[in-house]
Amino acid sequence: MSDLVGDAVNAGGDKLQDDKQLQSALNPPARQTLNKILLIPLAVFFVLVFILAIGFRLEDAHLLPSQLIDRPFPEFELAELHDEQRTLTVRDLQGEVSLVNVWATWCPNCVIEHPELTRISNDEGVPLYGINYNDDSAKARAWLQRYGNPYRFNIVDNEGKLGIDLGVYGAPETFVVDASGVIQYKHVGEVSTRVWEETLEPLILHLRGQLEEKAGTD
């Protein structure tokens, strides 16, 4: 049946009288015969998809761990970027829920997140501290002059020692530190408005709530 239609089409020249005939010429009924060999490519393809999907699932598991969560911020004694006489320690980070941002002038995405950090620091009333990581202090000061300085202070970590204690992979990374100086969260990559709204802000509000409750019960 289908062969007949096919032949009619291939032969050409046959006048097709009405739409119905035209339609059957354009859309011959599906062949019912199924050659099983032709299913092989499909089967191979699905095996491939299976492998890709597994690889994909595993890739998700490679997301970075936020180590040091619920651990006190590591001890350090480092200089301040603009006031090198001043020595900063972990005590300087305590007292308020704060954001600690690891940045460097060699880090392209630090430029990207800078406006959002500036906004958070200005509008949201969250103290923002910087760790200038594996960098050159003179360059870092010039960078801040150029893009603005939203940080209350900047810890100079030119040797990357604090970074190693913090388990920093690269920059930018941002830590949420609670009032007692315990790391509550770590964000890897740039802080965007979305990250702020969906993750950081709720967490900070939550931590502040805890702080108020504590103050209330005292």
Q: Considering only residues 15 through 44, tell me which ones interact with other proteins, judged by CB under 8 A.
A: 15-16, 19, 22-23, 25-28, 30-31, 33-35, 38-39, 41-42
- Per rule CB under 8 A, is residue 9 in the interface with other proteins? yes
Q: Which of 79, 90, 111, 211 binds other proteins (CB under 8 A)?
A: 111
User: How far is Cα 129 from Cα 101, in angstroms, rounded to an integer?
Assistant: 6
Q: How far is the CB of 125 from other proteins (least distance, A)?
A: 16
Residue burial 84-95, b: 16+ Cβ < 10 Å; e: rest: eeeebebebbbe
- Per rule CB under 8 A, is residue 205 in the interface with other proteins? no
- Per rule CB under 8 A, is residue 115 in the interface with other proteins? yes
Q: How many residues of this chain bind other proteins (CB under 8 A)?
A: 86
Residues of span 73-102 touching other proteins by CB under 8 A: none
Question: Residue 172 belongs to what H/E stretch?
Answer: none
Q: Give the x/- contact pattern for other proteins in 49-78, rule: CB under 8 A.
A: x-xxxxxx-xxxxxxxxxxxx---------
Q: How far is the CB of 208 from other proteins (least distance, A)?
A: 20
